[in-house]
Amino acid sequence: MDVLRRMLREPLLHFLAAGALLFGLFAWHGRETGSPRRIVVDRPALLQYMQSQGNADPANTGQQFDGLTAAQRARLIDDYLREEVLYREARALGLEQGDSVLRQRLVQKMKFLLEGSSDAQPADAELQKYLQVNAKLYAVEPAWTFTQVFIDPAERGEAAAAEHALALLRELNSSGARFNDSPRYSDRFPYLQNYVERTPAYIAAQFGEQFMTSLQRLQVAPGKWQGPLHSDLGWHLLMITAFSPEHLPQLEEIRAQLLDDYRRERAAMAREEATSALVKSYTVDIRDLTAQHP
């Protein structure tokens, strides 16, 4: 009796018993279902297997396969057969049931299949219509180009800085100071001296919303200094040389991006329509969803 108890506690015996049980299940399932026991090994299957293992470049998998030695090819076939057998037997035993990760992978694959072809070639008129409907997505933000002279209240005091800004504005315009002259008159500024084609968000991030609001009221005037404008940091005198208002780009400017977005949206619409059709083909039985209390 003691010998029997020791045998029952042996891990090796447990492993052998589990293996025998699995072997029996495989054999029983094969007899009951008559599932095919034939695996076709061909070039497409092996190329796909190589790519799935992440050890092949999709662009030249065929060349890599052709370059394998006889021993390497035999090893590849053996690895493929082992994976295919384990996959089939796992499916036969229903091991995918209850696996949320596998469920999501299968759902994703099904969604991809339902999207259909994504190489639609819409006419320019259709693309232009798509651009107009989605104008907010493709609108180019307004942008300013200017240079600035900074007057720092931390060095002069707030009142003195404001007075100096007004006096300096008159001096800059009377002397004909140019765009590139701004560093000669400016106090040290923590950011940029010149701002080229900068958007409202960028400008507001460095100068503050009050400055941005004031800037929008000014006109483009190359050669003329304007201000003073107050920011979160101090006072500024500006020469604005260019302004580009918000606008919708021309079709040719964003054709590639527009075509990608168009195809992506059409694929999503096709997937949604196909999914809805599939749902309607099922009989749905919704049971009582309230919690059952003892």
Q: What is the pLDDT of residues 227-242, one digit of tens each?
A: 999 999 999 999 999 9
User: Can you give the pTM of this predicted structure?
Assistant: 0.53
Quick one: pLDDT band at residue 288, thresholds 50, 70, 90? low
Burial 78-98 (b: 16+ CB within 10 A, else e): eebeeeeeeeebeeeeeeeee
List CB contacts of 252: < 8 A, sequence separation 6 or more: none
Q: What pLDDT score was predicted for residue 291?
A: 59
Q: What pLDDT score was predicted for residue 293?
A: 63
Quick one: pLDDT band at residue 45, thresholds 50, 70, 90? confident
**Do 236 and 229 form a contact (C-beta atoms < 8 A)?**
yes
Q: What pLDDT score was predicted for residue 286?
A: 66
**Do 258 and 131 form a contact (C-beta atoms < 8 A)?**
yes
How far is Cα 155 from Cα 115, in angstroms, rounded to an integer?
A: 64
Q: Which residues pair with 198 in a beta bridge?
A: 144
Q: What pLDDT score was predicted for residue 53?
A: 84
List CB contacts of 256: < 8 A, sequence separation 6 or more: none
Please give the average per-residue pLDDT across 10-31, as a whole number: 44
Q: What pLDDT score was predicted for residue 25?
A: 43
**DSSP H helical ranges for the chain:** 2-8, 11-33, 43-52, 61-66, 70-92, 100-115, 124-133, 135-138, 153-156, 158-175, 182-185, 200-207, 209-215, 255-280
Q: What pLDDT score was predicted for residue 117?
A: 60
Q: What pLDDT score was predicted for residue 152?
A: 95
**Do 240 and 218 form a contact (C-beta atoms < 8 A)?**
yes
Q: What pLDDT score was predicted for residue 289?
A: 58
List CB contacts of 165: < 8 A, sequence separation 6 or more: 151, 227, 228, 235, 236, 237
**pLDDT for residue 26 is more than 50:** no
Domains in the chain: ranges and CATH: 11-113 (no CATH), 138-244 (3.10.50.40)
Task: Tell me which of 21-35, 214-228, 263-277 is least confident.
Answer: 21-35
Tell me the average pLDDT of the chain: 82
Task: Tell me which of 15-29, 44-58, 138-152 is least confident.
Answer: 15-29
Say how many CA atoms lie within 13 Å of 244 toward its Cβ: 13
For 112-167, what is each residue's pLDDT tens digit?
777 766 667 889 999 999 999 999 999 999 999 999 999 999 988 999 999 999 99
Q: Which long-range contacts (CB under 8 A, 24 or more apart) does 130-133 make?
A: 130/258, 130/261, 130/262, 131/248, 131/251, 131/254, 131/258, 132/248
**pLDDT for residue 278 is more than 80:** no
For 88-104, what is each residue's pLDDT tens digit?
777 777 777 777 887 78
Spatial CA neighbour of 73 closest among 41, 103, 99: 41
**Residue found by looking up tokens 């029997």 in the block:** 4
Q: What pLDDT score was predicted for residue 18?
A: 42
For 52-86, what is each residue's pLDDT tens digit?
887 677 778 888 889 989 899 888 888 888 888 87
Q: What pLDDT score was predicted for residue 248?
A: 92
